[in-house]
Each structure stands twice: as C-alpha cells, then as structure tokens.
Amino acid sequence: MQRVFITGIGLVTPLGLGKDNVWTKLKAGVSAVGPITRFDVSDYPTRIAAEVTAFDPSDFMKKKEAKRTDRFVQFALAAAELAIQDSQLDAKQVDTERASVYISSGIGGLETLAEQHEILLTKGPAKISPFLVPMMIGNMAAGQVAIRYGFTGAANNIVSACASGGQAIGEALRSLQRGDADVILAGGTEASVNPIAVAGFCALRALSTRNDDPQTASRPFDLERDGFVIGEGAAVLVLETEAHLVRRGGTAYAELVGYGATNDASHVTAPHPEAKGATRAMQLALADAGLEPSEIDYINAHGTSTDMNDRLETLAIRNVFQAEAERLVVNSTKSMIGHLLGAAGAVELAVSALSIREGYVHPTINLKTKDPNCDLDYVANQGRAMPIRAALSNSLGFGGHNCTLAIRRA
C-alpha cells in the first residue's frame, strides 16, 4: 500500500490568501469576523460573518471565466493554483491519467441559484442564464479544477455537510493508497455568506448574535458561546504517493496516515448524545494509521462554538483518549475564521500540517470562561510552541456525518 504525503497547501480564507499569510495571522490570534458587507442584513438577527475580502477572481482567471463561475468555484480554482505553486509541482509533467481531483462543497452554488431564482420570478424563464446549472452544481469545483490542469483521473465531490472537505481528503487518501493515482488535488470550498444561507442558519438559531462585538463572537468551548459564525473560503492540498514525491524530488509538510468516517444515524442536526459517532471516527482513524492514543499530541477540533458540538466533541475525545486526554493539546481554528462549512475540514487539516511542520499550535481565541463540560487543554488565547509527532483533525456535519484524519511528521 502506497504511503501518502501532503506536499502543497493552497488557502483562500477570511484571514487572507496563501498559507504563509494565513498561518502568521493564526499564530497571532487574529479574528477575521466582522459585519457582513456583501448584502443588506438589517432585518437579520445575525449580522456578522467571516468574509473573504482580499480576493479578486481576476488574479486567477479571465473576467469572462469569472462571470461564468460561482464564487465557490472561484475559491477552489484559486486555492488549487496556490497549492500547486506551493508544492513546486509541474502540472505539465504529471501523468494526467494518474492525476485526480477531490474537491468537495457541502452547499455548492447557492448564491447563483438564489440570484437566478429572483430573475425567474421577476423577469420570467426566458431570462435565466444558460450557465445556471453548471455554475450551481456542487461537483463543478472539482470539474473546473480538473479541466484547468487536464487531470483526467477521477474528479469527485463528496457531499457530507461540514465533513465534506475532510472526507474528500480521506477518500483521496484511499485512492492514492490503492494505487489509482499518483497525485490528487484534494480539499473543500464554500461560499455561503449570502442572503438565503445566512437566513437559513438564522432560522435554525445556530448562529451567534453577538453583532456588537463580532471579533469575540466565535468562542469555542467558552461558557458564554451562543452559536457559530459562518465563514467562507477554500483549501486545496496536493497529495502525492511516496514514489511520485521521491521521483520528482519534492518535499512534504506531513504524512497523511489515517481516515475514519462514521454516521451517528441519530438526528439531522444534533450530534449523538453520547458522541458515539465522533468517538468511533477517531478510533477508526487511529487504527487505520497504526497509531496509539499515546502517540497523538494535538487535535484540531471541529470546535464550532455551539453548545452541543463543543460539549460532545470533548466527550468523544475523552472516550477515545481516556487518561491520555489530560496531556492532549486541542484547539479550534474556527475561533478566528468562523465555520467554513464544507471547506472547514480541508482548511483545518492544512493548519494541522503547518502546526506539525513548525512545531507550533495556534490559540483558541475568545476562551475567557471555560465551560465545565469542556475540560481539556484548548490552548486558550495564547499559542504554544511544542513538538508534534502526530495529530488528528475532526470534522462533524449535519446528517450525523463524522470524519477524522490523522497525520504525522514527515
């Protein structure tokens, strides 16, 4: 079975573009949350989000192409280009039949759908764009990236809500291990800071309403948390087999060694009350990686800043690690960039790889009063230098989806 390595990281996030820029701000504990600027939110109970503001699609594609692609696809194309540049992979030298794309989106082109629906209501069906369907469908991020680089292996979109990006990477791992491909661009993308998506999450009462102090609104594991902050962005990773990496003389951030996926089969939005699915996902990832709990130093938690998620993810970690949980270091990237939905797992695995490479764990910001039911070491408010042998990254989604990825020092 082939070994698999992370060799390139491309990030489009509310903190900015590019891994170095984003990583510097994460280490410094910078919040990207602010007032929503993309549409009028005066009638919304939640008026804050983590928007991608430093993004111009014309930096990555022609203006004509940008007009024919939804924002979530634009993010994916940008992240893929940044990842390839970072890996120093010459895409023209790749065997394109052995190169695949696994880029997921939990929601897809909802913004395009909403805009075109308004046109249908006000102007009639004759005015609907012929690009509505190819802009809207969730697989188009993977499809467009594959077209750009001519990669003719599989091009897949695994849709599992907020576990989508993590599962895309996990399924890419399986494909590489089987020998189906040499190189895969894998990750997640989401652009859901739009009127209908925000209204939907408001109706669920899932979002923080800390509108007057947005930078403290995302507060995972804090007693006064009141919901998550919606974000947007993308992460694409270059994954390569060891043989391909050695052949081209590349370098790696970390080795991708384990993947566990489960379903709670319990509730459409709430985690299992005993955290059984999340527990088993971590156990499966550890077994797949051949790692013992004692070998894991760090967990990048799903850590949404909602009552049930934070409490039950903590329970799941304790279920798996038992006495080892006392020495574990856990953090939440969402405390700074909000919840990127289908892109979250990919961004957070990228952050975990950067943490392993540098030996540094970024802080969980806004953790002022720890919830008694959240009693682990969450690296509150101040980052920490530490050697990391191996790490887990958790992603949990509506529908009961659970995904854990395991990486170790390359």
User: How many whole angstroms separate alpha carbon 66 and alpha carbon 56?
Assistant: 10
CATH node for 258-409: 3.40.47.10
Q: Are 186 and 236 in contact (CB under 8 A)?
A: yes
Among the options 202, 244, 272, 339, which is catalytic?
Answer: 339
Residue 132: what pLDDT? 97
Residue 197: what pLDDT? 97
Q: Comparing C-alpha atoms, which of 345, 241, 204 is closest to residue 2?
A: 241
pLDDT in tens, 217-239: 999 999 999 999 999 999 999 99
Residue 270: what pLDDT? 93
The whole-number average pLDDT for the span 102-118 is 97
Q: Are 11 and 187 in contact (CB under 8 A)?
A: no
Residue 215's pLDDT band (boundaries 50, 70, 90)?
very high
Among the options 244, 302, 362, 401, which is catalytic?
Answer: 302
Q: Comparing C-alpha atoms, which of 336, 391, 401 is closest to residue 165?
A: 401
* Domain topology for 4-248: Peroxisomal Thiolase; Chain A, domain 1 (3.40.47)
Q: Are 404 and 384 in contact (CB under 8 A)?
A: no
The domains of the chain are located at 4-248, 258-409
**Which three-class secondary structure state does DSSP give residue 375?**
coil
Active site residue 401: no
Among the options 162, 202, 374, 403, which is catalytic?
Answer: 162
Helix residue spans in 182-301 (DSSP H)? 195-203, 242-248, 276-289
Active site residue 162: yes
Percent pLDDT > 90 in the chain is 99
The whole-number average pLDDT for the span 169-195 is 98
Do the domains 4-248 and 258-409 sit in the same CATH topology, yes or no? yes
Residue 303: what pLDDT? 98
Residue 205's pLDDT band (boundaries 50, 70, 90)?
very high
| Distance of alpha carbon 310 from the chain centroid | 17
